[in-house]
Amino acid sequence: MSLLVVGLSHRSAPVSVLERAALTVGAQAKLLHDTVAAEPAAEAAVLATCNRIELYADVDKFHAGVAELSTLLALHSGVGLEELTPYLYVHYEDRAVHHLFSVACGLDSMVVGEGQILGQIKDSLARAQELHTAGRLLNDLFQQALRVGKRAHSETGIDRAGQSLVTFGLEQLAGRESVAAWAKGKRALVIGAGSMSSLAAATLARSGVDEVVVANRTLERAERLAAILGDGGTGVTARAVPMDSVAEELTRADVAVSCTGATGLVLTAADVTAALAGRADADGADGGAEHRADAGARDVRAGESVCTDDDCLIAPAPGHMGHPDHSGHPGHPDHAVHTDRSGLATDRPTTPDGCPVGSEVGDETAYEQHAALVGNSPAVGAAAARTSRTAPAALASAARAAALHLLDLAMPRDIDAAAHRLPGVRLVDIESLADASADAPMAADVDAVRTIVSDEVAAFGAAQRAAHITPTVVALRTMAADVVSSEMARLDGRLPALGDKERAEITQTVRRVVDKLLHAPTVRVKQLASEPGGAGYADALRTLFDLDPETVAAVSRADLLSNAGGRLGQHQENDEPKRGRA
């Protein structure tokens, strides 16, 4: 049997395809069952994250395995095979091992070096074990991948090369400011109470937001997360609300983060528009909400109505926004599409001198290890806060109503992509993060991690090849022991008067002879089998000693059963946080 992986990721497929191919937990379970039921596969595991879907299997035929796994991925993802095939990649044997180890170290992540993937690999192994689709090979493979990932993070500075997707997304929203400066005083709405949402909530709480509201379909999970945040020592006010309160809470939020398992949109463009209108109404009724103006933090000096700095964020000049001649419709002279430095396009009206009204231009920020839910790191992002301008009092309400930041970390997406075209809305999603991360700085430690991966792949291959011949060696020694027992029984028939002491001495002598004859060849054959191309030594051993294949298979099955419980216990010892999951 041989390891095969078929999959697609942000490196091979556009976000639109990944979004459509996303697998629910139920779909993953069905995919695993169907894979092991297929003829070429004996084991299977699925690694499904927000930016990759990979099916691992132990197959006995390469071409048949590729065809079967590709067909099953298309079937369960709902994307046609012809459409999906151009985006699929295939890795086999050592290249498949190298791929998973690279993934575990964060080398293949959208944000290089992020450690959340270790939790996702751990989840994948647990799911395959629970469904009994992981055997010896995939248990060994995924366990070793977790160890390699931990080694990479502990022995190198790969953490300096990147951060979690949550932190990277918040940095994109913060633009020129540090996350801490940007988040201070804001109200945050977190939609979902799972892995990524919990991580986002914890990061926002430590970054200095005033309040975190958690909305989830299961209110108990939201309440549990809110309680954890409230007891975390950050001083943040945290509360839980049901999902049907999202629309109301969005009118009061400055930033909303969504990462749910929903198959449809959680927030449509109409929902965001309604929230903006609700915010404007609320601000009109309560002009004293000064912390909103501070949260927006961009004012124009008294008397200035036109911005001449194309990097600033301001409210529209009086008479511009909402004027019948400046509706911002495509084709209008004052309508333009602007792209900020993070790669996020903003379709907004402009002032006569070309300044994007309500747009926010980001720039490169320092990268630090994201330690949310793991350590007590300071707020990440080292870019200096931009000196603000002061706005006329007449524009304060409009500026407050326009400061709505949305972070969509779900796949498929939770927030309608059309929301980024709404005036005053900044939306960062998986697609824009992929564009922004393309220019992320790479640490020199990446090379060190690649060396670790290469060494670990070689060691894993040697161990697997050596393990492959072990049942044959055990079967050979079992056969030799049977021969000794048979010959001693024959001796008893010929010499019935033989004493127990003499019989024991003869038995021990014969066994020593057999052990000495077998020791050198069995040790040597294990060494040879661990080298590349050594898989044929097991076949040679079976042929030379005329070993029964069923005996070898029986040894393999017994060994697998005896190790199953131990592997599960070993899995429990890998306590790497699940992507920062709460």
Residue 451 labeled ligand binder: no
More confident residue, 347 or 169: 169
Q: Among 379-383, 404-408, 475-479, 483-487, which is the least confidently predicted range?
A: 379-383
Q: Flag whether 536 is marked binding.
A: no
In three-state secondary structure terms, 57 is strand
The CATH class for the domain spanning 165-280+402-423 reads alpha beta
Residues carrying CATH 3.40.50.720, the chain: 165-280+402-423
pLDDT in tens, 227-259: 999 888 888 999 999 999 999 999 999 999 999
pLDDT value, residue 49: 87
What is the per-residue pLDDT across 562-578, written as a single tens digit (0 to 9) for each?
Answer: 444 444 444 444 444 33
Q: Does the annotation place 196 within a ligand binding site?
A: yes
Tokens of 267: 């927030």
Residue 305 predicted with pLDDT over 90? no
In whole angstroms, give the CA distance from residue 508 to residue 536: 33
Does residue 332 register a pLDDT over 70? Answer: no
DSSP assignment string, 126-194? HHHHHTT---HHHHHHHHHHHHHHHHHHHHS-GGGG---HHHHHHHHHHTTS-HHHHHTT-EEEEE--S
Q: Please name the fold of domain 2-162.
A: Beta Polymerase; domain 2 (3.30.460)
348 Cβ partners below 8 Å, 6+ apart?
328, 336, 338, 356, 357, 358, 359, 421, 423
| Contact predicate 340/290, CB 8 Å | no
Give me the pLDDT at residue 548, please: 74
> Given the structure tokens 């707020």, which residue do they identify?
379
The helix/strand/coil state of 45 is strand
**Residue 449: its pLDDT value, please?**
92
Q: What band does 318 get if pLDDT is binned at 50, 70 and 90?
A: very low
Q: Is residue 197 a known part of a binding site?
A: yes
Cis peptide before 352 (omega within 30 of 0): no
Report pLDDT digits (tens) over 81-123.
999 999 999 999 999 999 999 999 988 888 778 888 999 999 9
193 annotated to bind ligand = yes
Domain with CATH 3.30.460.30 in the chain: 2-162
To the question of whether residue 390 is assigned a binding role by annotation, the answer is no
Residues serving a catalytic function are 50
Determine if residue 470 is labeled as part of a ligand binding site: no
Which residue reads 């400066």 in tokens?
A: 181
